[in-house]
Amino acid sequence: MRVIRPAPEAEVVASFLRGELDSPRYRKRLLDLLAADGQDASLVARPNLGDRGENAYRAALLDRHRGWSRREGLFHGFPQHIDWFRAALSREEVLAIRYIDWDWWLDISGGTRQPLDAARRIRHGTFTGSTAEGHEPIAARLRAAKPPVELIAVTPSDHSRLVLVEGHVRLTACALYPDSLPPALEILLGVSDEIERWWAFQRIRGSSSPDISPRPGSVATSAGAATSSVASASTSQRPHVLLGATGWQLPRTCRSRSHSRAANLVRTASTAPSPVSDTCRVGACAASRASTVPA
């Protein structure tokens, strides 16, 4: 794994919403939310991460769509504080990412949550709810001029396991057509010592899954109110950076659980990094789903 740079929370929010806008299942829902606010779909399709007002609106939109800031549904137990990075993974590392601990992905993988197991079961006809052919166009886009939106995954600070948060269908396409993967695939990666508290990281057997469907109800919330509420809730903090010799790296373990935010990143570059946005305070990502299933 090669860490390219820290990623602001706003980038993760925008990436998830773009994935939802591309989804035949959720495109209409998002367009309805945007229309109710008198906003154009370009705010999601072509996000301007340098615009704080846009970022605040998208954060509020994701909250209304999935309830992420309240830690409901998909985000039940998700850490309030998580450090985000843009990282490049090898093919083997991508295909080792585990699915969310949700019934559909347990069924499709035979209980392992491994995409390669899901791919084998689909190709052999063991699992009949999906086909390889249906995933082929998705896999083909991985090497296109405009590839699909990035996968979003999370890991504890010891990097013992990567679990997918958004992009399950795309990851399955990668496993079905691994030759479509580039030598290194960029993803958005969240790191937190508290990620194992998230219900979907590894659910306690016998417990029920929360409802992770898009939130129903009113779609009307003013962009101005959204901007104000998000701005007032955010505290500017940057990841602690240590200087070294060549490239970004994540340390294998955190120095202490209480110091996880300051020790998750080691800077080893001879040139200074570009300025890092100070908005990566709270984890903001989500999974799309098929019918009642995360995508």
Q: What is the mean pLDDT of residues 32-52?
A: 96
Burial class (CB in 10 A: 0-12, 13-18, 19+), 70: exposed
Q: Which amino acid is at 18?
A: R
Question: What pLDDT sits at residue 3?
Answer: 95
Question: What pLDDT sits at residue 181?
Answer: 95
Greater pLDDT, 96 or 257: 96
Domain ranges across the chain: 2-294
Arithmetic mean of pLDDT over the chain: 76
Q: What is the mean pLDDT of residues 56-82?
A: 89
Distance between CA atoms of residues 288 and 295, nearest Å: 4
pTM of the entire predicted model: 0.73
Question: What pLDDT sits at residue 257?
Answer: 35
Q: Which of 127-131, 204-208, 279-283 has the highest mean pLDDT?
A: 127-131
Residue length, the chain?
Answer: 295
Question: What pLDDT sits at residue 209?
Answer: 60
Question: What pLDDT sits at residue 275?
Answer: 29
Please name the residue ranges forming H helices in the chain.
9-22, 27-36, 42-45, 52-66, 91-95, 103-109, 115-123, 132-140, 168-176, 223-233, 260-263
Question: Residue 233 corresponds to which tokens in the numbers above?
Answer: 């809730």
Listed in sequence order, the residues at least 6 apart from 35 whose beta carbon sits closer than 8 Å to its beta carbon are none
Distance between CA atoms of residues 254 and 159, nearest Å: 10
Q: What is the mean pLDDT of residues 155-165?
A: 94
Question: What pLDDT sits at residue 254?
Answer: 37
**pLDDT surpassing 70 at residue 233:** no
- Cα distances from 79 to residues 141, 196, 201, 221, 266, in angstroms, run 32, 9, 11, 25, 22
**Of 45-59, 71-85, 187-201, which range is least confident?**
71-85
Other Cβ atoms less than 10 A from the Cβ of 23: the count is 17
